[in-house]
């Protein structure tokens, strides 16, 4: 895959994950644990893992999984992408004076 088409493809995957995240926030989940979700956006991560050639094609290229044990240090970690996007959503809510924990 050419570099430009790979960037476009990853951008489409991120957009799909964000749409699934928004849809997931609208679904009432009957879990007892606050903040529990269905994890629909994780489907896009699975698709990315199977379709991309290089497994280092995550959005964030320099993440840390577990610094104390030396696991995944300075690595491309797909679940770090999700946490990054979640942090951006919460930052947006803070700027809009909304509850950060609303609709989790």
- Tokens coding 65: 């999984």
pLDDT class of 48 with cuts at 50, 70, 90 = confident
Query: Higher-confidence residue: 60 or 93?
Result: 93
| H-helix or E-strand spanning residue 66 | strand 63-66
Could you read off the pLDDT of 16-40 as tens digits, one per residue? 988 888 888 787 777 666 666 777 8
Task: Give the DSSP letter string of 4-64.
Answer: HHHHHHHHHHHHHHHHHHHHHHHS----SSTT----TTHHHHHHHHHH-SSTT--S-SSEE
Could you read off the pLDDT of 58-80 as tens digits, one per residue? 666 667 677 777 777 777 676 77
Please state the separation of Cα 22 from the chain's center in Å: 12
The single residue listed with the structure tokens 């997931």 is: 24
pLDDT class of 56 with cuts at 50, 70, 90 = low
In whole angstroms, what is the distance from residue 37 CA to residue 68 CA? 28
């Amino acid at each position: 895959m050419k570099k430009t088409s790979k960037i476009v493809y990853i951008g489409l995957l991120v957009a799909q994950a964000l749409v699934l995240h928004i849809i997931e926030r609208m679904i009432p989940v009957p879990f007892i644990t606050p903040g529990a979700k269905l994890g629909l956006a994780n489907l896009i991560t699975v698709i990315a893992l199977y379709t991309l050639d290089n497994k280092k094609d995550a959005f964030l290229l320099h993440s840390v999984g577990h610094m104390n044990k030396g696991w995944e240090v300075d690595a491309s970690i797909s679940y770090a992408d999700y946490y990054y996007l979640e942090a951006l959503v919460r930052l947006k809510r803070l700027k809009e004076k909304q509850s950060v924990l609303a609709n989790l």
